[in-house]
């Protein structure tokens, strides 16, 4: 993405967002919904920088422009096309600068070097930056109290990110990435260094099931936190958890032996989440 390309606007988000995200945001009051769309648009634009083609130098330069713009937004209130829609959400909901920077840092991890079988501590840092930081921005908009909001962001962010990793193994591999941790591969007896070889190794199923068990525990903890939080403040994250946990359970039933059929959310699952968490 070049510096001249505009980021998504709030009007673009419904078309660009996943149906589960859109449904989860639709249950919010207008001001919260718009704030979430603007935060999502920013995060989506930064993510596109990491995933779009182009040299690492060009993509890193683009990310640095976002980082500089966030710094200026907080230090002087000056906005650019990349940050103009964040001014009101930052002011109205007290969004923290470090969380925006963390999102950018997470995308930088994908650019500096394609992540291939990182150590657990590196993967956890990536999950914190790429997902939990977005959660920390979101829970302020949802109106959660500080301590349970940060705790929910930690657990649900990791649950969602691990689910994405388990779902998108083949898609990520096409970009030269493999987010499965080195230790898990080693413990399963996978010594291959080629991503293609790892993806067809029968022991891959064992690796992914172990990570799925970890994701389940993150979902369990998230649900426990939300059960003790005001219902209005957790309607949207509860819907996201419902939909993505459904994806995880489908993946577990399918398994990870090659060849793998694609697993995505179903409209029925999204509708159930809306009915259970958005209305009743």
* Residue in the block written with tokens 């907080």: 74
* Residue in the block written with tokens 């149906």: 19
Give the residue, 161 or 7, on which the prediction is more confident: 161
Of 95, 109, 116, nearest to 49 by C-alpha is 109
pLDDT in tens, 110-160: 999 888 999 999 999 999 999 999 999 999 999 999 999 999 999 999 999
Q: What is the pLDDT of residue 130?
A: 95
Euclidean distance between CA atoms 153 and 128, whole angstroms: 9
Q: At residue 266, does pLDDT exceed 70? A: no
CB 271 within 8 A of CB 24: no
pLDDT in tens, 201-220: 999 999 999 999 999 999 99
Q: At residue 57, does pLDDT exceed 90? A: yes
Q: Which long-range contacts (CB under 8 A, 24 or more apart) does 76-81 make?
A: 81/6, 81/7
Average model confidence (pLDDT) across the chain: 89
Q: What is the pLDDT of residue 182?
A: 96
pLDDT interval class at 263 (50, 70, 90): confident
Give percent of the chain above pLDDT 90: 79
Q: What is the pLDDT of residue 96?
A: 98
List Cα–Cα distances, 17 to 12, 32, 54, 103, 117, in angstroms: 8, 16, 24, 18, 29
CATH number for 13-279: choose from 1.10.600.10, 3.40.50.720, 1.20.120.350, 3.10.310.30: 1.10.600.10
Q: What is the pLDDT of residue 19?
A: 57
Euclidean distance between CA atoms 217 and 156, whole angstroms: 10
Tokens linked to 196: 């293609």
Q: What is the pLDDT of residue 75?
A: 97
CB 165 within 8 A of CB 211: yes
Bridge partners of residue 178, in order along the sequence = 116
């Amino acid at each position: 993405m070049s510096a001249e390309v505009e980021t998504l606007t709030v009007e673009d988000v419904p078309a660009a967002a996943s149906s589960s995200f859109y449904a989860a945001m639709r249950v919010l009051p207008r001001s919260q919904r718009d704030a979430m769309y603007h935060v999502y648009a920013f995060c989506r634009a930064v993510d596109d920088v990491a995933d779009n083609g182009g040299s690492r130098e060009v993509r890193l330069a683009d990310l640095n422009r976002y980082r500089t713009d966030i710094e200026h937004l907080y230090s002087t209130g000056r906005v650019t096309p990349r940050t103009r829609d964040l001014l009101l959400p930052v002011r109205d909901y007290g969004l923290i600068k470090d969380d925006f920077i963390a999102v950018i840092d997470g995308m930088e991890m994908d650019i500096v070097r394609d992540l291939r079988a990182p150590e657990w501590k590196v993967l956890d840092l990536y999950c914190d930056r790429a997902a939990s930081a977005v959660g920390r921005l979101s829970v302020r908009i949802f109106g959660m109290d500080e301590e349970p909001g940060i705790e929910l962001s930690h657990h649900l962010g990791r649950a969602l990110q691990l689910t994405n990793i388990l779902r998108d193994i083949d898609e990520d591999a096409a970009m030269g990435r493999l987010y499965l941790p080195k230790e898990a591969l080693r413990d399963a007896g996978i010594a291959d260094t080629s991503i293609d070889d790892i993806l067809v190794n029968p022991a891959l199923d064992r690796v992914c099931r172990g990570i799925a068990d970890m994701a389940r525990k993150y979902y369990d903890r998230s649900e426990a936190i939300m059960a003790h939080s005001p219902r209005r403040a957790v309607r949207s994250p509860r819907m996201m958890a419902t939909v993505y946990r459904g994806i995880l359970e489908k993946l577990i039933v399918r398994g990870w032996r090659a060849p793998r059929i694609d697993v995505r959310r179903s409209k029925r699952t999204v509708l159930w989440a809306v009915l259970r968490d958005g209305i009743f």
